[in-house]
Amino acid sequence: MIPYWRLSAYYFFYFSFVGAFSPYFALYLQSISLSATDIALLMSLMQLMRVLAPNLWGWLAEKLGMRIAIVRLSALASLAGFSVFFVTTDFAGLFAAMALMAFFWSAALPLIEGLAFAHLGEAAHRYGSIRVWGSVGFIVAVLALGHSLDRLPIEAVLWVTATILGGIVLCSFAVPEAPRPPAQRETASFGDTLRRPEVQALFGACFLMSAAHGALYVFYSIFLVDIGYDKALVGWMWTLGVVAEIIVFMLMPRIAQRFSLRAILLFSFACAVARFLMIGWGADSLAVLLVAQGLHGATFGAYHAAAIAVVNQWFPGRLQSHGQALYGSLSFGAGGMLGGLLSGYTWDSLGAAWTYTIGSGFALLGFIWLLFGWRSRGRAAGLAAGANPQQ
């Protein structure tokens, strides 16, 4: 029995948190008079902990065989860490609260991804229909909070986000543990897999893709408000991107039947190059912004679905949680941290346009690394290397 709705509910609340926190928490930090550099430092702690924590938690989960117990601990500790934001606006206190919350919050997703695939088993092609509820949760949170902030004080961000974290706690206790993969002789060790050039190209490109998104996740809402758009429209812009992401998630089984996962990834990187140039230099045009946000379906939806499918295949059995943790650490962790921190330093000195241009440059480097590092030997060979057309 696949716990479809319990997994879906967890993804719904997990990404509702992202929908409330990522677009609007920077606005709260701006409202308490923090500088762009301080905001970038605090927001980048989320990425820093995604470098450090997932591998530690993944190793501990495999060692103890307690994946869901760690997911539950992370939910409780994340809520406790976030609660500190209610009692201080001092930078040192904010830094400690963010570090605590991020350290535990970053533990959950790689473990839940592994649990989801373990529960799905041979029905791995249903992953997208479960993961899509995360995108729905993001939309609900970003729209509801965006409209509310035109009438409510910015402190509402704290109350809404804390409530969502409470929902994550409840869902973590509803999701059951999954059977551990049976003991088997792996075709390659973790180290042997990492030494393959196509694996290095994938992880390196994923690092650069997340770096390209750094300015988007830290400053996009601030940027739109500063150039005259209201907060409700900001919410709709984030929603447009996630609607595009949902459409792609639902279409991925068909798309992957027609194109190799390598080709899908290359297309996603090409879209990212164009997207961040459009945001940086065309933000005064609502039409340009709409097209750029629509490209989120490619730069995150298609990219993430293809990347996680490849990781799931290249790191089988007992290697799976380590592979997923490494993917999260290098891409959303290290790459996101680099992009976020760099954007904090360039935002005031170079301006928004050149900051987003640097993001476009990261995406271009990722495209080149993937193109030449993961050599295509034809569709059949690509699938033999681990690209499952049904993911």
pLDDT for the residue 66: 78
**Which tens digit of pLDDT belongs to each residue from 262-282?**
999 999 999 999 999 999 999
Side chain identity at residue 126, one-letter code: R
> Does any domain span residue 1?
no
pLDDT at 317: 66
Cβ neighbours of 7 (radius 10 Å): 25
pLDDT at 184 over 70: no
Structure tokens at 385: 């290397």
- Tell me the pLDDT band of 192, cut-offs 50, 70 and 90: confident
What pLDDT, in 10s, does the model give residues 346-387? 998 999 999 999 999 999 999 999 999 998 654 433 333 333
Q: What is the mean pLDDT of residues 79-94?
A: 94
- DSSP letter for 315, please: S
Per-residue burial over 78-113, b = 16 or more CB atoms within 10 Å of its CB, e = otherwise: bbebbeebeeeeeeeebeebbebbbbbbbbbbbbbb
- Say whether 227 sits in a helix, a strand or coil: coil
pLDDT higher at 42 or 189 = 42
CA gyration radius, the chain: 20
Please indicate, yes or no, if residue 183 is contained in any of the structural domains: no
Confidence at residue 187, expressed as pLDDT on a 0 to 100 scale:
53
Per-residue confidence (pLDDT) for residue 250, from 0 to 100? 82
When mean pLDDT is compared across 52-56, 65-69, 243-247, 278-282, the lowest value belongs to 52-56
Burial of 157 (0-12, 13-18, 19+ CB in 10 A): buried
What is the residue whose two structure tokens read 């973590």?
A: 172
The reply to whether 40 falls in a domain is yes
Residue 318: its pLDDT value, please?
67
Q: What pLDDT is recorded for position 356?
A: 97
**What confidence score (pLDDT) does residue 195 get?**
80
Determine what percent of the chain is predicted with pLDDT higher than 90: 45
Residue 253 has pLDDT above 90, yes or no: no
Amino acid symbol at 173: F
CATH at residue 285:
1.20.1250.20
The pLDDT of residue 330: 80
pLDDT of amino acid 381: 34
* Structural domains of the chain, count: 1
Q: What is the pLDDT of residues 110-165, one digit of tens each?
A: 788 878 878 877 776 677 778 889 888 988 998 899 888 888 899 999 999 999 99
Question: Is 256 a member of any domain?
Answer: yes
Residue 144 CB burial class (10 angstroms; 0-12, 13-18, ≥19): middle
The whole-model pTM stands at 0.73
More confident residue, 108 or 137: 137
pLDDT at 181: 58
End-to-end CA distance of the chain: 20
Residue type, position 295, single letter: L
Is the pLDDT confidence value at 389 over 60? no
H or E, element range at 57: helix 36-64
Q: Which residues, other chains included, contact 62 with Cβ-Cβ below 8 Å and sequence gap of 6+?
A: 318, 321, 322
Domain interval for residue 98: 7-178+188-384
Which of these, 186, 210, 219, lies nearest to 319 by C-alpha position?
A: 186
Mean pLDDT of 65-73: 85
Q: Are 175 and 3 in contact (CB under 8 A)?
A: yes
| 326 within some domain | yes
Closest by CA to 312, choosing from 367, 216, 386, is: 386
Residue 212 lies in a domain: yes
Dump pLDDT digits (tens) for 320-329.
667 777 887 7
Q: Could you tell me if residue 65 is inside a domain?
A: yes
What is the residue type of 330? Answer: L
DSSP string, 73-110: HHHHHHHHHHHGGGT---HHHHHHHHHHHHHHHHHHHH
- pLDDT of 390 strictly over 50: no
Task: Examine residue 146 and state whether it is found in any structural domain, yes or no.
Answer: yes
- Mean of the per-residue pLDDT values of the chain: 85
Would you place residue 289 in the very low, low, confident or very high pLDDT band (cuts 50, 70, 90)? Answer: very high
Say which amino acid occupies 179.
P
Amino acid at 206: C
Q: Are 158 and 28 in contact (CB under 8 A)?
A: yes
